């Protein structure tokens, strides 16, 4: 498959191919863009190419090195991501060895899933940031000679999750990069990284994927029905990961629940709204709540598009009637602020904030942005 493992992003693929062919590979890259557009996937494929025994700008997929990358078990390639803090973990401890056996098994399973699907988002309970011990381990490994030919590659996934200590530690490696070592940082929130880190990386901005690219990938990779794939692609905001999440649920029901929630928020019945918040929070499934919030975000975005530009460009085209009714009833709603409040709520869900509190606060914020503007 080679570079075809990465959906779209042809401009970036060509850029990296040229750097390989011209032997102008940077010591550090920052791949940034929206979540789910292929940053990690491309980082892994780039690492595969740089370690392929046959050389060249395309990995063969058959040599022992490529086979090891297939399962993310190549000694020259390390993936760094958020991990739980171990009990009594001290400075300099191995970031994995300090975890419980159950946590270690979870990490292994997440790496297996990432190997099967490079678009998989690694999620480990109680992993709120990238630890300094993970970065210190990176620095130790980078200083050692490679186990095999090729280059040593360190992929820091969601690099914005580094805490202050980890960021400063990584900066030292970026300032004095070891030979034959490439650091690849990926981020969907570049602005949260230290400016000194950003300035020492070659910046590579990723584009949102087209609906056609996402739809074709869903059909080819997940055997999705074409109509369902097209709908998921339309609602995905250019993110393959988000489109996959959409396929895993009843999108008709979920989107209708968004409309019902807004009706309750903008109405005067407090008890039904409280019951709805309780229902949404009951399972404790943060991924489901985050997915639902993103659907709400798409719906509010459509309301803004409809008000400013008309029906062209709507994602929820089958909800046009409800959207028109909303816009007519709240013509002065501050939809930009409302979208920002939803984005803030998504961030709080990611940070393990108490779900009923997140949703309750969102209710007040949406009322302020939509109702009180009238």
Q: Which of 160-164, 204-208, 226-230, 248-252 has the lowest mean pLDDT?
A: 248-252
The better pLDDT of the pair 86, 203 is held by 203
Q: What's residue 8's pLDDT? A: 94
Residue 127 pLDDT > 90: no
For the chain, the average pLDDT equals 87
Q: What is the DSSP string of 107-120?
A: HHHHHHHHHH-TTP
Structure-token pair, residue 276:
């709805």
From the list 208, 316, 306, the residue with the least C-alpha distance to 256 is 316
pLDDT in tens, 228-276: 888 888 878 889 998 888 787 777 787 788 888 888 888 878 888 888 8
The pTM score is 0.76
Alpha helical stretches, state H, 144-269? 164-175, 195-199, 211-222, 226-234, 240-247, 251-266
Q: What's residue 210's pLDDT? A: 92
| CA distances, 91 to each of 46, 81, 132, 142, 176 (Å) | 32, 18, 8, 18, 22
Q: Are strands 202-205 and 77-80 parallel, antiparallel or unpaired?
A: unpaired
Q: What's residue 353's pLDDT? A: 84
Band the pLDDT of 148: cuts 50, 70, 90: low
Q: What's residue 1's pLDDT? A: 65
| Mean pLDDT of the region 3-30 | 92
Residue 323 pLDDT > 80: yes
Specify whether the CB–CB gap between 207 and 36 falls below 8 A.
no
Q: Which of 271-275, 281-285, 343-347 has the lowest mean pLDDT?
A: 281-285
Q: Return d(Cα 50, Cα 21) in angstroms, integer.
A: 11
The better pLDDT of the pair 248, 199 is held by 199
């Amino acid at each position: 498959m080679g570079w075809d493992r990465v959906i779209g992003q042809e401009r970036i693929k060509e850029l990296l191919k040229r750097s390989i062919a011209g032997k102008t590979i940077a010591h550090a890259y920052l791949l940034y863009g929206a979540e789910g557009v292929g940053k990690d996937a491309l980082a892994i494929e780039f690492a595969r190419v740089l370690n392929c025994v046959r050389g060249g700008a395309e990995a063969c997929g058959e040599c022992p090195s490529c086979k090891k990358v297939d399962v993310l078990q190549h000694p020259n390639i390390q993936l760094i991501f958020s991990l739980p803090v171990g009990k009594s973990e001290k400075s300099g401890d191995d970031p994995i060895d300090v975890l419980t056996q159950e946590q270690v098994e979870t990490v292994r399973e997440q790496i297996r899933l990432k190997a099967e699907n490079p678009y998989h988002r690694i999620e480990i309970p109680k992993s709120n940031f990238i630890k300094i011990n993970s970065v210190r381990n990176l620095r130790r490994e980078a200083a050692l000679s490679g186990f095999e030919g090729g280059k040593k590659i360190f992929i820091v996934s969601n690099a914005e999750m580094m805490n202050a200590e980890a960021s400063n530690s990584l900066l030292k490696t970026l300032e004095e990069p070891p030979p034959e070592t490439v650091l690849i940082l990926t981020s969907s929130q570049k602005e949260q990284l230290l400016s000194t880190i950003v300035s020492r990386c070659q910046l590579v901005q990723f584009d949102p994927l087209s609906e056609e690219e996402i739809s074709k990938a869903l059909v080819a990779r997940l055997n999705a029905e074409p109509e369902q794939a097209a709908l998921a692609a339309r609602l995905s905001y250019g993110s393959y990961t988000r489109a996959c999440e959409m396929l895993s649920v009843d999108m008709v029901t979920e989107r209708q629940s968004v409309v019902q929630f807004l009706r309750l928020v903008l109405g005067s019945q407090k008890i039904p709204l409280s019951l709805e918040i309780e229902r949404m929070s009951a399972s404790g499934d943060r991924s489901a709540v985050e997915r639902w919030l993103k659907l709400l975000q798409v719906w509010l975005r459509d309301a803004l598009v409809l008000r400013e530009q008309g029906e062209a460009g709507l994602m929820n085209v089958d909800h046009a009637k409800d959207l028109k009714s909303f816009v007519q009833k709240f013509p002065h709603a501050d939809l930009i602020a409302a979208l920002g409040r939803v984005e803030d709520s998504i961030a709080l869900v990611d940070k393990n904030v108490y779900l009923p509190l997140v949703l309750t606060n969102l209710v007040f914020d949406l009322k302020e942005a939509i109702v009180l503007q009238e």
